Amino acid sequence: MDPVHIGIVSVSDRASSGVYEDKGLPALQEWLQRALRNPITFASRLIPDDQAAISVALIELVDAGCALVLTTGGTGPALRDVTPEATLAVAHKTMPGFGEQMRQISLHFVPTAILSRQVAVIRDKSLIINLPGQPKSIAETLEGLKNADGSQAVPGIFAAVPYCIDLIGGPYLETDDTVCKAFRPKSAIRAAART
């Protein structure tokens, strides 16, 4: 099985300048390694809240062959929060359902979830998704909410990511169902491609 190329971007003025340790990139990498059965190569960026710099990083990662690019941070209403604008500026298509579901999940925890402006877009054959800034929120958004017995209460957004990437011509992503079960129509499911 060929490695899947995934871009991960943490957007933070303070972390990028060394004021504190970035927790976004390790959280994204750790979750993806648990959730995906595919071998993964990561391309990571730690950058300040600068709209032009964010857009440049996203374009570079897409051009480098990343099928999926996940960002963390910079999605609130504060003056320096410009990740959604930078993401929309490089979009060929918008995917509003991702942002709607992320806010829906977060509303189970905090009423301020409505302040989040996360977006998802397609550029070329890549899916770009803005995630929350906190590691706990990243996992909740991607995985969704589970009942006490482990069954899915509210689907996480990652359940739709593999099929979306199929549809835009990207690699076939296989998930670990104990972390996040991908949804595909029966006609789109392939036999396990283990090596």
pLDDT at 81: 96
| Whole-angstrom distance, CA of residue 15 vs CA of residue 129 | 20
Q: Note whether 54 and 74 are within 8 A (CB).
A: yes
- 16 has pLDDT over 90: no
* pLDDT tens figures, 67-110: 999 999 999 999 999 999 999 999 999 999 999 999 999 999 99
Amino acid residing at 135: P
Q: Note whether 99 and 118 are within 8 A (CB).
A: yes
Q: Note whether 77 and 16 are within 8 A (CB).
A: no
| Whole-angstrom distance, CA of residue 142 vs CA of residue 153 | 13
pLDDT at 193: 53
Q: What is the pTM of this model?
A: 0.94
Task: Kindly indicate the confidence band of residue 192, based on its pLDDT and cuts at 50, 70 and 90.
Answer: low
pLDDT at 148: 87
Which range (17-21, 123-127, 144-148) has the least confidence? 17-21
Q: Note whether 118 and 132 are within 8 A (CB).
A: yes
**Six-digit token string for 145:** 């909410």
| Whole-angstrom distance, CA of residue 45 vs CA of residue 28 | 12
Strand segments (E) across the chain? 4-11, 40-47, 68-72, 93-94, 120-123, 126-131, 144-146, 152-155
Closest alpha carbon to 48 in 94, 15, 96: 15
pLDDT at 195: 42
CATH of domain 4-188: 3.40.980.10
Domain edges within the chain: 4-188
pLDDT at 15: 85
Q: What is the mean pLDDT of residues 164-183?
A: 95
